[in-house]
Amino acid sequence: MTDRIRLLIADDHPVVRDGLRGMLSSQADFEVVGEAVNGIEAVQQAAQAVPDVILMDLRMPQMDGVTAIAKIKLANPRTNVLVLTTYDSDTEILRAIEAGATGYLLKDSPREDLYHAIRSAAAGRSYLSPSIATRLMVQMQRPAEEHLSAREIEVIRQVALGASNKEIAHHLHISEATVKSHLLHIFSKLGVNDRTQAVTVAIQRGIVRVDGQVSN
């Protein structure tokens, strides 16, 4: 490879940025052309520096990594973004990939895996760390309604429509305590932490349509 791969590091932790810069400088075909401490800076520097690959953390102040990825890909679809994060939840993985990430790698991955992922991303090839690839395959192959009961599907449908717990209880003729219990079960089964994530995953799995209706 004669051309150096131009890299932008987007991470809000200075120690991580310094560590990555030092690690990447050991490779003759890598060149770090910029650093960003949040998603807003990542979007700005992506437009200014036009890197070949952006190493993007997900949890950053002012603008998160997923939002930044979407904005970067909208401005320049040819930009390759490699997520480098400590978060490996199904929701995080799917959101990043749907936003346009070329690859997804965990920060505790071996450095050789990182080098390979960067070179793959620069060539326009997707790269997922083995553990992420396995989880994503299981997620995509899982039947949409395998774990949710009929009542839980009714509850998540109401949540998708924007109903409060009180409104859901009234509509389904159950108590608010029962609604809360159903929501806790839904969160556990979908692997999420809140209502917004639950609706997002339910839509992704085809349990609920974008208009809030239950899929057939």
Which domains are present in the chain? 5-140 (3.40.50.2300), 150-204 (1.10.10.10)
Per-residue pLDDT at 2 exceeds 70 = no
- pLDDT tens per residue across span 53-103: 999 999 999 999 999 999 999 999 889 999 999 877 767 787 888 889 999
Rounded mean pLDDT of the chain?
A: 88
- Contacts of residue 14, defined as CB under 8 A and 6 or more positions apart, other chains included, come to 37
- pLDDT tens per residue across span 15-29: 999 999 999 999 999
Per-residue pLDDT at 211 exceeds 70 = no
Are 39 and 63 within 8 A, CB to CB? Answer: yes
Q: Is 124 exposed, middle or buried (0-12, 13-18, 19+ CB in 10 A)?
A: exposed
- pLDDT tens per residue across span 167-201: 999 999 999 999 999 999 898 888 888 999 899 88
